[in-house]
Amino acid sequence: MFDTFRGLLMWTIPISHFTRVAGHFSQASLSGVIYITINVFVMQAFVFLSGYFSKKPDRSKETSFHTFMWPYLLGIPFFYCIRYIIWGSANWNLDVPPFALWYLWALFFYRYFTKEWMKVPYILELSILVYLLAGQVPFLSDKFGLGRVVSYFPFFVMAFYCTGDQLKKLQCLKKWHCWLLGAVLTGASCVLAFCVPQLPVGFYLLKSPACELGITWYWDIIGRAIILALAWGWIILMVNILPSKMNYVAYVGMNTMPVYIFHLIVRYLVKKYTIFFGVLPENWVVYYVTIFALAGLCVFVFSSKPVVKIYDFVVEGLWKVFLWLLDRCKDILALIHKPVAALTRVVLDGISSIDGGVSEHEEPINCEKPADSKEPA
C-alpha cells in the first residue's frame, strides 16, 4: 500500500508541474483546481511516508547523507547544465536549492537531526505552531529552502510518532465514507480556486513568507490551517482506498527518484516551447488529456528498468568514487601528520632543553629576611 501511495504521488507531481507551465493556466479554472488539489497534499504525503519509515534515528543519521544529500549535491551542477543547454543561460545560486530538489535538502535535515529534535519537549505541538506562523517570518523563504523545511516538518514528526496500530485505526472508513470524504476534499479545492483569490497558487507551495506573496497575515495563517486539514484528509483517504497488493503503481513507488529528477527536464522543455511556440492545443479536453498523458509517459519511461539502472549506476558509481577520494585524502593527511608530529616533538624538546639550561645557571631567589634584620616580620 505504501509503495502504491508513493507511485500515485509520483504521478501527480508531473501533472502539477506541467499544468502550471503549459501555457493555459489560471487559478479560477480547472487547471487551478488540479494544481491546488495536488499541492495541498502531495509533498506533505511524501514527507509523511518518509517520516513513517524513519523510526530508527541512528540508522537515519548514518544513511541520510548518502540517500538525500548526495543526490542533492549531484543535482545542483546537473540542473545548472540542463538549464544552460535549454535556455542558453543559467544562474548558480548556492543559497537557493534548485527547483524541486528542496525535498532532498529538507529530508536530509529531518533525518540527520532526528535524535536532536526528539529531545525537544512538545516537539509536535511546537512544529505545528511554527508551521502556522512561518509565513510571518521574512527569512523563512526559498533561501536555503527554509520556508519549506519548516512548513513540511510537522508531517515528518507526525509520521515518526505514528505507530502501526494508530495507522490501522485510520484505515476504518467504509466505502461511502471514502466517497464523501473525497467529494468534500475536491469541493474544498474548487472553493479555494474559484472563491479565495486572497490565496494565490504560489501560496500552496509554502515556500515564501506572506509579505513576498502580498497576503495579509491572517489569511496566511488561515490558509496554512486549511492546508494542514486538507493534507491530513487526503492522507487518510488514500490509506483507506489504495490496494495492498503488488501492482504497476507500486513498482513506480519503489523507483521514484529517477522520475522525480528526470521529469524536471521535460518540465523545462514544456515551459520553453509553450512560451515560444504555444505547442499545446487550446481545446481544453485535448489540452488536459495531453498533460495527463505526458505525465504518464514520464512516469512510464523514467521508472523503467533501463533508466533506473542508469540512474543507480551514475549516482552509486560517483558515490564510490567520492568514498575512494575520501580514503585517499585520509592517507595523504596521515602521511603529512607523521613528519609534522615528529617535527613538532623535536621543536618542543628543543624549547624544553633551552628552558632547562637557563634554569641551571640562575641564582636561587632567597625570600627569607637576613638574621640581623630589625624590620618586623
pLDDT, averaged across the chain: 88
Predicted confidence at residue 373, as pLDDT, reads 47
The pLDDT score that the predictor gives to residue 18 is 92
CA distance 124 to 118: 9
The pTM assigned to this predicted structure is 0.85
What is the residue whose three cell numbers read 543547454?
Answer: 85
* pLDDT at 367 (0 to 100): 46
Q: 284 or 75: whose pLDDT is higher?
A: 75
Q: Contact 290/280 with Cβ under 8 angstroms?
A: yes
DSSP state of 66: I
Domain range annotation of the chain: 2-303, 307-352
HEC per residue, 74-112: HHHHHHHHHHHHHHCCCCCCCCCCCCCCHHHHHHHHHHH
Which residue type does 36 have?
Answer: I
Residue with the bigger pLDDT between 358 and 9: it is 9
What pLDDT, in 10s, does the model give residues 154-189? 999 999 999 989 999 888 899 999 999 999 999 999
Q: What pLDDT band is residue 337 in, cutting at 50, 70 and 90?
A: low
* Length of the chain counted residue by residue: 377
pLDDT classification of 377: cutoffs 50, 70, 90? very low
DSSP 8-state class, residue 278: -
SS3 for 280? coil
Q: Which range in 64-78, 84-98, 347-361 is most confidently predicted, on average pLDDT?
A: 64-78
Cell of residue 42, nine digits: 502531495
Q: What is the pLDDT of residue 355?
A: 58
Q: Residues 133, 27: contact at Cβ < 8 Å?
A: no
Q: 247-271: per-residue pLDDT in tens?
A: 999 999 999 999 999 999 999 999 8
What share of the chain has pLDDT > 70, as a percent? 89
pLDDT band at 331; cut points 50, 70, 90: confident
Does position 350 have pLDDT exceeding 60, yes or no?
Answer: yes
Residues whose CB falls within 8 Å of the CB of residue 240, separated by 6 or more in sequence, listed in order: 170, 171, 172, 173, 177, 178
The pLDDT of residue 40 is above 90: yes
> What's the CA gap between 206 and 20, in Å, rounded?
16
Q: What is the pLDDT of residues 92-125, one digit of tens each?
A: 877 788 778 899 999 999 999 999 999 999 999 9
**Which one has a higher pLDDT value, 355 or 245?**
245
**Is the model more confident about 62 or about 334?**
62
